[in-house]
Amino acid sequence: MLAGLLAWLSLDAVSVAPNRIVAGAPHRAYEVMGGWPMLLVTLPMLGVMALAWRPDSRRLRLAVALVVALLAALPLWLAAAVWALVDPSLPQARLGIGASVWLLLFLWLLVLLELRTRLGLARWQGWALLLPVLAAWWLALAHWLEPLALNREYQGRSDQFVAAIGYHLALVGAAVGASLLLGVALALAMRRHAGLQRAGFAVLNFLQTIPSLALFGLLLAPLAWLSARVEWLSALGVSGIGWAPAWLALVAYSLLPMVRNTFVALEGVDAGVLESARGMGMSRQQVFWQVRLPLALPVILEGVRITTVQAIGLTAVAALIGAGGLGTFIFQGLGQAAMDLVLLGALPIIALALLADALFGALADGLRHGGAR
């Protein structure tokens, strides 16, 4: 909170530009509407710092309420900045979000996560705390933040944006699904053959050391050669660029965490539990499907979680070889020096990664606690 307060008082909060081409003029928080609106953000931060001095459950709950109120008030403050700084006679004028506001968002979310952990709140309770925040942002974007630069970039590319999210998720899902099938098969084979275990992990570790762009480049020539000589591959759209090298690279990078977690999970089941199952007359297949696999499933899901989060990020890089997805906006924005366009691609990727991490983490915790009962 102290770092957030320093950023709020010293860094630029917003910038205003007459159009997309001209660089925006920066404004600090006290320059937007004077001191009083700035105090509406400053005083709650001081309150959270005071409550953290000698924390107990009551003070921590009050701190949670203040942080949620701050997160919900931020879009309303941006709406006030639009009213104060953006000239309504300039239809292309836009308001950019400055460094201090981004830092506040990041730091306040970290504080909220820490408070949720200290209070021992469940995952769903932590997500429920964000509902009023999301409602405030939706209300502000729908009614008052039309000149926001990020919103203008979205409005100009709304159809492309929806299609990019769908394509991004499809590529991630196809890569994670294939790596799950291959990873489980390889882990089962490694459990039977020690030589395959050493060689398999050596190859998978080697694949992890290859930079993503280098792997895309290595796949370009052989896939182009196959596409030119195999008609059915060409009919599927396989070529040196596009979805095929991106999918193969994602599968290659996803195999190590998937295989390692599956192998460790299956090997880590208590031998006494397995012996008890065999003593009850279970066959080998029954022991695997009814005892070993259910007990190993939470750890396997951790591998799926790691793989999914990793694939969501790597798919953005695949846009460089024409694979599409949200990375397209990132590299278009970098080429045009348009940071709001970069954010239009980067922010959904961050949100998707956090959502995937939370969902698979909650599922693994639920299975683990269910098994404990």
Q: Count CB atoms within 10 A of the CB of residue 138.
A: 11
Q: Tens of pLDDT along 45-100? A: 999 999 988 888 999 999 999 999 999 999 988 998 898 888 888 888 899 999 99
Which of 149, 169, 188 is a domain's end point? 149
Any idea what DSSP says for residue 89? T
Residues 106 and 200 in one domain: no
Which of 124, 149, 174 is a domain's end point? 149
Residues 91 and 22 in one domain: yes
Q: Which of 315, 302, 304, 307 is nearest to 169 (CA)?
A: 315
pLDDT at residue 372 in the model? 43
Residues 178 and 314 in one domain: yes
pLDDT at residue 86 in the model? 87
| Mean pLDDT computed over every residue of the chain | 88
State the Cα angle at 300 between 257 and 326, rounded to 5°. 55
Q: Which residues constitute the domain of residue 295?
A: 158-372
Alpha helix stretches (DSSP H) within the chain? 2-10, 29-33, 35-51, 57-85, 99-119, 123-129, 131-143, 149-156, 158-192, 194-209, 212-229, 231-235, 243-267, 271-279, 284-287, 293-317, 327-336, 339-372
Q: Tens of pLDDT along 207-220? A: 888 888 888 888 88
Residue with tokens 């759209």: 237
pLDDT at residue 34 in the model? 66
Q: How many domains does the chain have?
A: 2
Percent of the chain with pLDDT over 70: 97
Residues 246 and 137 in one domain: no
Residues 101 and 173 in one domain: no
Residues 143 and 202 in one domain: no
Residues 97 and 207 in one domain: no
pLDDT for residue 38 is more than 90 = no
Which of 99, 123, 149 is a domain's end point? 149
Q: Tens of pLDDT along 333-346? A: 988 888 889 999 99
Residues 280 and 343 in one domain: yes
Residue with tokens 């509902």: 131
Mean pLDDT of 190-210: 87
Question: Is pLDDT larger for residue 131 or for residue 362?
Answer: 131
Distance CA 329, CA 319 (A): 9
Residues 19 and 104 in one domain: yes
Distance CA 26, CA 224 (A): 48
Residue 373: band (very low, low, confident or very high) from pLDDT cuts 50, 70, 90: very low
Question: Is pLDDT larger for residue 326 or for residue 212?
Answer: 326
Residue 112: band (very low, low, confident or very high) from pLDDT cuts 50, 70, 90: very high
Q: How many CA atoms lie within 13 A of 293 on its CB side?
A: 10
SS3 for 55? coil
Residues 138 and 171 in one domain: no
Q: How many CA atoms lie within 13 A of 261 on its CB side?
A: 23
Residues 222 and 256 in one domain: yes
Question: Is pLDDT larger for residue 250 or for residue 221?
Answer: 250
Are 309 and 357 in contact by the 8 Å Cβ rule? The answer is: yes
Distance CA 54, CA 209 (A): 47
pLDDT at residue 369 in the model? 65
- Could you tell me how far CA 149 lies from the centroid of its own chain? 22
User: DSSP secondary structure string, 128-189?
Assistant: HHTHHHHHHHHHHHHHT-TTBHHHHHHHHTHHHHHHHHHHHHHHHHHHHHHHHHHHHHHHHH
Q: Tens of pLDDT along 254-290? A: 999 999 999 988 888 888 888 888 888 888 888 888 8
State the Cα angle at 297 between 294 and 300, rounded to 5°. 155
Q: Which of 153, 7, 24, 135 is nearest to 75 (CA)?
A: 135
Residues 213 and 308 in one domain: yes
SS3 for 17? strand
Residue 350's domain is classified under what CATH number? Answer: 1.10.3720.10
